[in-house]
């Protein structure tokens, strides 16, 4: 008898691209220069669309529109009504969630299933969470000496420039817009040149939700447009997510106008597995912690410290899992795909060069190590074993599906080696010993520590870096302080 036919792959349809112009002062406009730039689908390397390319003049127009909105209708709106707009935006995104997920997959190449189950639900949750904060930013009454009444107000910082990367395009929009809008700021956003499409669609939904013209402006373009935003004297604050190198440039430039700056930058996060951990859970979490999103996460668990006693067993199971993942490499619109392509050729080349450096340095490549297929920027899930702390694959952020395993003997050594990095974004520890888990979590110099889990995000839980991983925290109550000034008002009570 004939073998049963393999069921047809379940594919999601490619979305139509509706918006390729910029949003300035409530109008959809071309660049004043008439210039555009192409955006590509990383799985096929085909051009998707040409998008308006912002110049310094466009950025200036957008900043003026944001200033006008800040001084106009927006500042007079009741805080609770700002919250209602955020809720409405969440509802509209929810009603269009499949379209948003498909746009992310088209522009970024991430598996549609990830976009549907991770990115988009978190986007919606972030807007809902901050909708509730808009009318809860209260000040204090302050017991000063003398016959005075002193109180403080939380006021919006003003016009904020927001610059985001390409790895979680829509999610980064929500992390940036939601707290800024809750606080009463107005926005000029520059999405990444690789992935402008979901941001533009979300801006259309923001207009539909009723945000007044100029409250949200989007300028699409390259680093020069971002730089123009950072330089602009009428921008009060810059919120940036991206590479540490660009973060350093931004911070220096922002010093000229003393803008407030928050930065969410790179990482080289330690993931520490103790011998008493639930091995299968640790293997699954380690695999997810590095390979999720093709390894393109600033918090990727890229340095995996494994206690020597279980090292061999752990690596064996991990390699099995990574090998299984290879079968899930494919068309990101296929619902069964678990790994898509890297974002572009630059990233692809950079990652391949690190794989070369790992081999050269003498680390043992136990699986992967090559390109997958011959079209699209696909790279095999790659695991290096017996990596030592000073190899480039252990010190540098690779931002791809390349894991380094570093065996250790005792826990203090693991913590000390884990902290031996300029970065400090995230860390994880796997153990059944609750006291050890907390003790290690307290010693790790990182903004987030996951215990027996990895990449668990919530709109309410602050996220950000120690050391060169950044300044400030996004999400949670903490993010609101990025977008507010404290004003003290002191009133003479006479006499």
- CA 363 to CA 120: how far, in whole Å? 38
- Contact status: 86 vs ligand ADP (CB under 6 A): no
Q: Is 45 among the catalytic positions? A: no
Pick between residue 193 and residue 380 the one whose CB is nearest to ligand ADP.
Answer: 193
Q: Which region among 68-76, 118-126, 246-254, 468-476 touches ligand ADP (by CB under 6 A)?
A: 246-254
Rounded to whole angstroms, the Cα distance separating 216 from 65 reads 9
**Residues numbered 138-177 forming contacts with ligand ADP, rule: CB under 6 A:** 163-165
Strand order in 141-142's β-sheet?
Answer: 141-142, 148-156, 484-492
How far is it, in rounded angstroms, from Cα 81 to Cα 135?
A: 9
- Contact yes or no for 314/306 (Cβ under 8 A): yes
- Could you give the string, one character per residue 193-212, with x where binding to ligand ADP holds by CB under 6 A and - elsewhere? x-------------------
> Can residue 185 be called a binding residue for ligand ADP (CB under 6 A)?
no
242 binds ligand ADP (CB under 6 A): yes
- Which region among 105-113, 124-132, 136-144, 241-249 touches ligand ADP (by CB under 6 A)? 241-249
State phi, psi for 200 to the nearest 5 degrees. Answer: -65, -40
Looking only at Cα atoms, what is the longest distance across the chain? 103
Which distant-in-sequence residues (6+ apart) come within 8 Å of 392 by Cβ? 354, 357, 358, 361
Q: Which of 264, 307, 397, 474 is catalytic?
A: 264
CB of 250 to ligand ADP, least distance (A): 5
Please, what is the minimum distance in Å from the beta carbon of residue 173 to ligand ADP?
12
Contacting residue, 29, 207, 249, 335, with ligand ADP by CB under 6 A: 249
Please report which helix (H) or strand (E) contains residue 262, including its range: strand 260-264
Residue among 186 and 342 whose Cβ is closer to ligand ADP: 342
Minimum Å gap between C-beta 241 and ligand ADP is 7
Please give the helix or strand (H or E) that residue 148 lies within, else none: strand 148-156
246 scored as a contact of ligand ADP (CB under 6 A): yes
Which is closer to ligand ADP, CB of 129 or CB of 399? 399
DSSP string, 16-69: PP---SEEETTEEE--TT--EEEEEETTTTEEEEEEE---HHHHHHHHHHHHHH
Q: How far is the CB of 312 from ligand ADP (least distance, A)?
A: 36
Residue 237, helix vs strand vs coil = strand
When asked if residue 227 is in the footprint of ligand ADP (CB under 6 A), the reply is yes
Q: Give the nearest distance from C-beta 252 to ligand ADP in angstroms.
A: 10
In this structure, what DSSP letter does residue 222 have? -
Instruction: Name the minimum Å distance from CB 53 to ligand ADP.
Output: 11
User: Could you give the CA distance from residue 193 to residue 221 in angstroms, rounded to a whole number?
Assistant: 5
Q: List, by residue number, the catalytic residues.
A: 264
Under the rule (CB under 6 A), what is the footprint of ligand ADP? 163-165, 190, 192-193, 222-223, 226-227, 230, 242-243, 246, 249-250
């Amino acid at each position: 008898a004939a073998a049963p036919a393999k069921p047809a792959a379940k594919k999601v349809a490619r979305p139509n691209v509706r918006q390729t112009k910029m949003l300035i002062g409530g109008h959809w406009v071309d660049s004043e220069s008439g210039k555009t730039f192409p955006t590509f689908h990383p799985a096929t390397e085909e051009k998707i669309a040409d998008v308006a390319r912002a110049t310094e003049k466009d950025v200036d127009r957008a900043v003026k529109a944001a200033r006008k909105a800040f001084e106009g209708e927006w500042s007079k709106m009741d805080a609770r009504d700002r919250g209602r707009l955020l809720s409405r935006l969440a509802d509209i995104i929810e009603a269009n969630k499949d379209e948003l997920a498909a746009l992310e997959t088209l522009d970024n190449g991430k598996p549609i299933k990830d976009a549907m189950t991770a990115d988009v639900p978190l986007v919606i949750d972030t807007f809902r969470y901050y909708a509730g904060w808009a009318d809860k930013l209260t000040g204090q009454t302050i017991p000063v000496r003398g016959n005075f009444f002193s109180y403080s107000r939380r006021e919006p910082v003003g016009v904020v420039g927001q610059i985001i990367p390409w790895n979680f395009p829509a999610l980064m929009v929500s992390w940036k817009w939601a707290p800024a809008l809750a606080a009463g700021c107005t926005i000029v956003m520059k999405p990444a040149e690789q992935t402008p499409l979901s941001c533009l669609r979300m801006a259309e939904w923001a207009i539909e939700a009723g945000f007044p013209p100029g409250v949200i402006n989007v300028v699409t373009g390259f680093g020069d447009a971002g730089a123009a935003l950072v330089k602009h004297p009428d921008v009060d604050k810059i919120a940036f997510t991206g590479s540490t190198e660009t973060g350093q440039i931004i911070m220096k430039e922002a010093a000229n106008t003393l803008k407030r700056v928050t930065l969410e930058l790179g990482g080289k996060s330690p993931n520490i597995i103790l011998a008493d951990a639930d091995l299968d859970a640790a293997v699954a979490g380690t695999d997810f912690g590095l390979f999720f999103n093709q390894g393109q996460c600033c918090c990727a668990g890229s340095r995996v410290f494994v206690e020597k006693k279980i090292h061999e067993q752990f690596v064996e199971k991990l390699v099995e899992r990574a090998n299984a993942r290879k079968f899930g490499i494919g068309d990101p619109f296929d619902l069964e795909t678990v790994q898509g392509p890297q974002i572009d050729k630059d990233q692809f080349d950079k990652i391949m060069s690190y794989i070369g450096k790992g081999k050269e340095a003498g680390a043992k490549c136990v699986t992967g190590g090559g390109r997958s297929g011959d079209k699209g920027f696909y790279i095999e899930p790659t695991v290096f074993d017996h990596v030592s702390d000073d190899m480039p694959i252990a010190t540098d952020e690779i931002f791809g599906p390349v894991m380094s395993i570093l065996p250790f003997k005792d826990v203090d050594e693991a913590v000390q080696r884990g902290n031996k990095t300029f970065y400090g974004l995230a860390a994880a520890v796997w153990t059944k010993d609750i006291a050890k888990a907390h003790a290690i979590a307290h010693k790790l110099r990182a903004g987030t520590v996951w215990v027996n889990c990895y990449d668990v995000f919530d709109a309410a839980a602050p996220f950000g870096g120690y050391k060169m991983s950044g300044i400030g925290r996004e999400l949670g109550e903490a993010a609101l302080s990025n977008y507010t000034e404290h004003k003290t008002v002191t009133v003479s009570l006479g006499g």
